[in-house]
Amino acid sequence: MQKIIQFITKYPCSVACIALIWILSFVPFFPETPLDDVQFIDKWTHLVMYGGTCSVIWIEYLRRHSTLDKGKLFRWAWLAPIIMSGIIELLQEHCTNHTRSGEWFDFLANSTGVTLAVIVGLVVYFYQSARKC
């Protein structure tokens, strides 16, 4: 229990973003907006949600660590969000009354957002490392 509290206090924004994704993923409906007419707006939303969340994970990690633990980052900043995305899509498809549906393209958009955040995180890390030298 203490490790969970320590994790939440160490990465509060990341935890909040992850909780928000879980909540938004199971809200039964969203109000209509003018953006509904934008082609693939749903997929762009998924990409930005997961890319933004994983960017926050990277920012909080880089602020607290001077060196990269590549294994930890691989597991928690890339693999875990992709697995979470898959679980959410499966739960939407099989455990809701189909007001929300799981889609492979949502999963692909989520995974793309996560991967882009990793690329940006690595670029920021190497840029910061080069400036310190």
Give the C-alpha separation, 128 to 133, whole Å: 9
Give the other-Cβ count within 10 Å of 78's Cβ.
Answer: 18
Give the C-alpha separation, 105 to 108, whole Å: 5
Give the other-Cβ count within 10 Å of 107's Cβ.
Answer: 18
pLDDT digits (tens, 9 = 90+) for 83-98: 999 999 999 999 888 6
Q: 101 and 92 in contact (C-beta within 8 Å)?
A: yes
Total-model pTM = 0.90
Amino acid 36 reads: D
Q: What is the structure's pLDDT at 132? A: 78
pLDDT digits (tens, 9 = 90+) for 35-48: 878 888 899 999 99
DSSP 107: H
Q: What is the structure's pLDDT at 9? A: 95
Q: 88 and 25 in contact (C-beta within 8 Å)?
A: yes
pLDDT digits (tens, 9 = 90+) for 3-30: 999 999 999 999 999 999 999 999 887 7
